Amino acid sequence: MNLLRRLITVAIFLCALAASALRSSAEPAIWVVKGPHATVYLFGTIHALDQNHPWHSAKIDAAIQQSQSLWLEVPNVDDAASMQPLILQLGIDTAHPLSSRLTPDQIAKLNKAAAGVPGGSAMLEPMKPWLAGMMLSLAPVMQAGYDPNSGVELQLKPEFTKAGKPVKGFETMEQQIHYFADMSDKAQLDFLVSELDDADSAVDKFKELVAAWYSGDTAKLDALNNADFRGKYPDLFQLLVVKRNQNFVAQIQNLIKGEGVSFVAVGVGHLVGKDGVPAMLEKQGYKVSRE
């Protein structure tokens, strides 16, 4: 009996140790792709986080330390002031109030979703649908305690700048805004309606997304980031995800063919799934490995 008890105790201890090891090994996903004289790390980011959960790991820190440059979606991610003139120019249309573009049912959803926005739905009235959609996507996240100023990019950039390493971008801020502002009226409304439809579950979904990101669960990240978007709004998905990924891949290929070590950090939705950057690079014949 004593032997059996000891064996059970050892088994319980080993199970606990294995569970602990699994927990400690969970970390945000990072990939690596190599060329003849270059190494490129691919790291998916979250644009808003709380300040109480560090995300650095030994693998991520080693990749950062080895890297000679940082590549973000936009290089001046910390320069919000430069966005204001563009948003005023491309996102405001006082001649066509937002409510005039919506059905009564959509207006009801808008009023409910805008309750958490300073100024409520009245503040959204002069906005074009794309800008109102962006505002509504951010509001519940901030209310839940996630801060865009604590996003991964805004933590990474000072690390590289302090080390004297250049920070570069695949796009300009103006290009990013134009992706939305240049959408057709239908596409803008589709984007806004998708945010209205998801408003009630937005906080819970974002919490799930952050948890999946911390644990490196790429399948769940693809499901949460892309699956519904891809299925419900295929044209919009092509414009905002696939085409941008293709642009990223074209520039990453130049890095792979060059020299040195680069750290690429873009929104995690761009790196997961069949339309993600790693999958696209593999289709081009590159070996992309999960670190």
CA dist 51 and 151 (Å) reads 9
Q: Cite the beta strand spans of 75-224 per DSSP E.
A: 167-169
> What does the alpha-carbon distance between residue 10 and residue 142 come to, in Å, rounded to a whole number?
46
Task: List CB contacts of 7: < 8 A, sequence separation 6 or more.
Answer: none
Q: Are 167 and 161 in contact (CB under 8 A)?
A: yes
Please write down the HEC assignment for all residues of 8-25: HHHHHHHHHHHHHHHHHH
Q: Which residues pair with 92 in a beta bridge?
A: 127
- What per-residue string of b and e applies to 206-236 under the rule 16 or more CB within 10 Å gives b? bebbbebbbbbbbebbbbbbbeebbeebeeb
The number of CA neighbours under 13 Å toward the Cβ of 4 is: 1
pTM for the whole structure:
0.87
Euclidean distance between the first and the last CA atom of the chain, given in angstroms as a whole number: 46
pLDDT (tens digit, 0 to 9) for every residue of the chain, 291 residues total?
443 333 333 333 333 333 333 333 579 999 999 999 999 999 999 988 887 778 999 999 999 999 999 999 999 988 888 888 999 999 999 999 999 999 999 999 999 999 878 889 999 999 999 999 999 988 878 877 888 888 999 999 999 999 999 999 999 999 999 999 999 999 999 999 989 988 888 889 899 999 999 999 999 999 999 998 899 889 889 999 999 999 999 999 999 999 999 999 999 999 999 999 999 999 999 999 999
Query: Could you tell me what percentage of the chain is helix, strand and coil, using 3-state DSSP and rounding each to the nearest 5?
Result: 65, 10, 25
Q: What are phi and psi of 206, to 5 degrees?
A: -70, -40
